[in-house]
Structure 1
Amino acid sequence: MTRITFLHPDLGIGGAERLVVDAALALKKNGHDVNFVTTHHDPDHCFSETRDGTIPVTVVGTWLPRHILGRFYAFCAYLRMIYAASYIIFCDRRPEVVFCDLVSVCIPVLRLRIPYVVFYCHHPDQLLSQPGGYSKQLYRMPLNYLEEITTGMAHKVFVNSIYTGSVFRSTFKRLHIEPEVLYPSINTDFFDKTRIVSMDRVLDKKLPNDSIVLLSINRYERKKMLSLAIEALAELEKLLTKEIYKRVYLIIAGGYDKRIEENVEYHLELIGLADELYVTDKVIFLRSPSDIDKVSILHHCKIVIYTPPNEHFGIVPLEAMYVGKPVIAHKSGGPMESIVSGETGFLVDLSAEAFASKISFLITNPDRIEDFGRSGKDRFLKTFSFVAFSVQLNKAIDDLITKKTK
């Protein structure tokens, strides 16, 4: 049994968090002793496995600032992760392996006393930073350099898709390493064992029995382009009969953290957009739904709409495919590897018209919804199953330890 610590900056309910929680579950099921160290964990805004004791969580460095006067978020994140790494290397039960992600600057600290350090690159952090003026460029320059150099210090590097692997190589030109693609999966045991609750209970309102529910699941962030789902809903009125359109509803569900200004602002912007497009009565917003509620609405919906462009991978299409729902997504990034257009869903241009056209096609051809759903589940089981994810991850960890001990 190997003691493995997962180091993650903010253990919330995003795709990155789902990945590391699933990785911890996969290693735990194989007999390893796993735990989390994080700099933030809110029991009301996290995955159940980190709240119910399934995976022990230690929170450190909460006294360190998240920003300085509304700025320097990246610098503060680096500082907090260095502090958390320092805690790990001096703790009583020091792990043999640390699996970290998102922030690589902690790796040289970990290597002082940790035999094996694994880094999972969801996407280079420097590419997620908003562009700015000359002063912002000067500020980011040393951070970007540190990210590249410290990423290369990990004993093993994973990326979440072939797409991210190509971005990794083009961004970190100083590094001469070939990251291994480890596709994320989902905890299918949870999906299988979850008791599905009624839509009325999830939404706290009753929809007509013949409703056609479209579902968008993503964090309340502008880069996720949730506005596109609302615009596509409005565009549908031109493509469907009045009787059918009357039955269509859109649920926008996703991570929402009141500490994050963008989440609050964007939620209000989306409410305003729905009002502007006269679809307020057709759009239902869910903020940070529970895991049970999310699985339930996935089961009850007809079609999943996935709007982010250039998504690094995207866990939502996998969740949709597992429960047998077609996915309509932008033809870029990770969804081009998970979705087979015309078989498990559609890959379309980044426009409301393009999304609406395919939504309309599926609504007016309900047999295709069933066909796509079956094909999607088959593809998930063959390529993205939790078993395949677990086998690859456990083998990589075992190979890393065996190779270094020889």
Structure 2
Amino acid sequence: MRKVVFLHPDLGIGGAERLVVDAALSLKGNGYDVQFVTSHHDPQHCFMDTRDGTLPVTVVGDWLPRNLFGRFYAVCAYIRMIYAAAYIVFFSGLTPDIVFCDQISACVPLLHIGGYKIIFYCHFPDQLLSQPGTALKSLYRAPLNWLEETTTGKAHKILVNSKFTAGVFRDTFKRLQVEPDVLYPTMNTDVFDNTRPLPLSQILTSEFPDNGILFLSINRYERKKNLKLALDAMNELKKCLSSNEWSHVHLVMAGGYDTRVKENVEHYDELVSHANILGLTEKVTFMKSPSDIEKISLLIHCHCLIYTPPNEHFGIVPIEAMYASKPVIAANSGGPTETVVNGVTGFLCSLKPEDFANAMLKCIKNEDIRTKMGKAGQDRMKTQFSFVAFSNQLLEIVHSLLDVKDKVV
């Protein structure tokens, strides 16, 4: 049996983690032996597939520091990933045919020692995720940026999550004479279809009227996700509605929250404070790290998804909402421009609160719009971003690397 090892830095909850989990499920379903190696895996903060034994997980090097005196996060992340790669090569006895790694490419040259075929999935260049800073920080990042570009180019196959990211990849890694392949993320619809949703009364702390309109935002509590825009849009929306209409509107902000991540803790508090300042305390419910069943239940019960990140690399949540037959209101940039069809499956808006509020108002005032857009979104998701389409493309890539002649069906 062919073996594929997935090497991932922190197997928690997020778009990158969902991508590699789906890739592993796809290959396992097609007869491959799959296993994860990671530097951190918290059973209380992960996807069910990595907790219930469906996908075996080995944790190595979690004792290594995540930072040094509150700094050098990137260096520590690189060291942890290289250590995990060393475990695969020298100590694990796994002997995989392919190693599928993502996020941090510094481990790729070490993996070559094992003679494996290497797939590197670039969700987004790491150097662009680093916040700009002083000249000293630029000096610190320079060798890391060079290392990222050099080691990324050592992979046998490079994948990206959207055409947008492919363009960013080319503009960032100018020394590399390689064209990455686009492998759109997907969602496991079987889990969605086989989940009985919880009633809203078990999810929301406040009572929600039967004829209410529920808007939903799902994103990690990070500043780059621009979550304040959803609150500002709610504030603008209030000005457009009568007091009776406004009484039936509610927003749920659900997102990944890890107490080990300082920004998660700080930004959550910032958002709660901002809601209080705007007088939205009773109109917004904040949720930390919703479980899979809570997330699916929210997608089923909501009337519209609000997706605020600018220049998002891809964005898995919009296609999840589309599968749930919900319109998507998203920023008109990045990956959502490839998933959301403006005026057909949702609305692509500028980053102005008024523009988001105007789209939200249309969804409130016209139930037919919500229904038609929801149906169109589900049809588009099934055609363009289904698990079958994702699986077939991934199998073609894996077979080409292994020179397997089996047909993909």
| Structure 1 residue runs without a partner (length 5+) | none
Residue 162 of structure 2 aligns with which residue?
161
SS at match of 2:240: coil
Please tell me the residue identity of whatever aligns with 1:98.
V
Residue 49 of structure 1 aligns with which residue?
49
Please tell me the residue identity of whatever aligns with 2:322.
M
Q: Is the 1:152–1:175 Cα contact (8 Å) retained in structure 2?
A: yes
- Report deviation, 1:402: 0.4
Q: Decide whether aligned partners of structure 1 residues 336 and 142 sit closer, same or farther in structure 2, where only a CA change above 3 A counts.
A: same
Please tell me the residue identity of whatever aligns with 1:73.
Y
- Report deviation, 1:139: 0.5
Distance in 1 between residues matched to 2:95 and 2:352, nearest whole Å:
50
Residue 248 of structure 1 aligns with which residue?
249
List aligned pairs for 1:268-283, cutoff 5 A.
268-283=269-284
Residue 120 of structure 2 aligns with which residue?
119
- Report deviation, 1:245: 1.1
Please tell me the residue identity of whatever aligns with 2:128.
L
Please tell me the residue identity of whatever aligns with 1:372.
M
- Report deviation, 1:207: 1.6
- Report deviation, 1:202: 1.9
Can you list the C-alpha shifts for 1:167-208, whole angstroms capped at 9, x where unaligned? 000000000001000000001111011111111112244322
| Structure 2 residue runs without a partner (length 5+) | none
List aligned pairs for 1:109-188, cutoff 5 A.
109-188=110-189
- Report deviation, 1:351: 1.1
Please tell me the residue identity of whatever aligns with 2:158.
V
SS at match of 1:208: coil
- Report deviation, 1:210: 1.9
Residue 77 of structure 2 aligns with which residue?
77
SS at match of 1:400: helix
Residue 316 of structure 1 aligns with which residue?
317
Distance in 2 between residues matched to 1:29 and 1:151, nearest whole Å:
28
Q: Does 1:385 align with 2:386?
A: yes
Range moving further from structure 2, 190-199 or 325-334: 190-199
List aligned pairs for 1:153-232, cutoff 5 A.
153-232=154-233
Distance in 2 between residues matched to 1:386 and 1:50, nearest whole Å:
18
SS at match of 2:235: helix
Please tell me the residue identity of whatever aligns with 1:335.
P
Distance in 1 between residues matched to 2:291 and 2:115, nearest whole Å:
35
List aligned pairs for 1:217-366, cutoff 5 A.
217-366=218-367
Q: Is the 1:89–1:114 Cα contact (8 Å) retained in structure 2?
A: no
Can you list the C-alpha shifts for 1:34-59, whole angstroms capped at 9, x where unaligned? 01000011111000000000100000
> Identical aligned pairs, as a percentage?
59
Can you list the C-alpha shifts for 1:321-378, whole angstroms capped at 9, x where unaligned? 0010000000000000000000000000001101000000111011100000000000
Distance in 1 between residues matched to 2:55 and 2:259, nearest whole Å:
25
Residue 370 of structure 2 aligns with which residue?
369
- Report deviation, 1:109: 0.5
Residue 18 of structure 2 aligns with which residue?
18
Can you list the C-alpha shifts for 1:44-81, whole angstroms capped at 9, x where unaligned? 10000000001000000011100000000000000000
- Report deviation, 1:121: 0.5
Distance in 2 between residues matched to 1:268 and 1:289, nearest whole Å:
17
SS at match of 2:286: strand
Alignment size in residue pairs:
404
SS at match of 1:44: coil
Distance in 1 between residues matched to 2:175 and 2:109, nearest whole Å:
17
Residue 64 of structure 1 aligns with which residue?
64
- Report deviation, 1:403: 7.8
SS at match of 2:165: helix
Distance in 2 between residues matched to 1:203 and 1:28, nearest whole Å:
36
Q: Is the 1:185–1:386 Cα contact (8 Å) retained in structure 2?
A: yes
Residue 2 of structure 2 aligns with which residue?
2
- Report deviation, 1:241: 2.1
SS at match of 2:7: strand
Distance in 1 between residues matched to 2:276 and 2:205, nearest whole Å:
21
Distance in 1 between residues matched to 2:204 and 2:37, nearest whole Å:
34
Please tell me the residue identity of whatever aligns with 2:230.
A
Distance in 2 between residues matched to 1:328 and 1:254, nearest whole Å:
17
SS at match of 2:84: helix
- Report deviation, 1:239: 1.2
SS at match of 2:403: helix
Please tell me the residue identity of whatever aligns with 1:386.
F
Q: Is the 1:327–1:346 Cα contact (8 Å) retained in structure 2?
A: yes
SS at match of 1:250: strand
Distance in 2 between residues matched to 1:112 and 1:293, nearest whole Å:
43
Distance in 1 between residues matched to 2:355 and 2:206, nearest whole Å:
30
Distance in 1 between residues matched to 2:88 and 2:132, nearest whole Å:
34
Distance in 1 between residues matched to 2:277 and 2:202, nearest whole Å:
28
TM-score (norm 2): 0.98
Distance in 1 between residues matched to 2:115 and 2:47, nearest whole Å:
27
Distance in 2 between residues matched to 1:229 and 1:220, nearest whole Å:
13
Can you list the C-alpha shifts for 1:200-245, whole angstroms capped at 9, x where unaligned? 1122443222221100000000000111101111111111222111
Can you list the C-alpha shifts for 1:282-321, whole angstroms capped at 9, x where unaligned? 0000100000100000000001000000000000000000
Residue 397 of structure 1 aligns with which residue?
398
Q: Is the 1:255–1:287 Cα contact (8 Å) retained in structure 2?
A: yes
Please tell me the residue identity of whatever aligns with 2:283.
K
Please tell me the residue identity of whatever aligns with 1:33.
D
Please tell me the residue identity of whatever aligns with 2:141.
R
Residue 35 of structure 2 aligns with which residue?
35
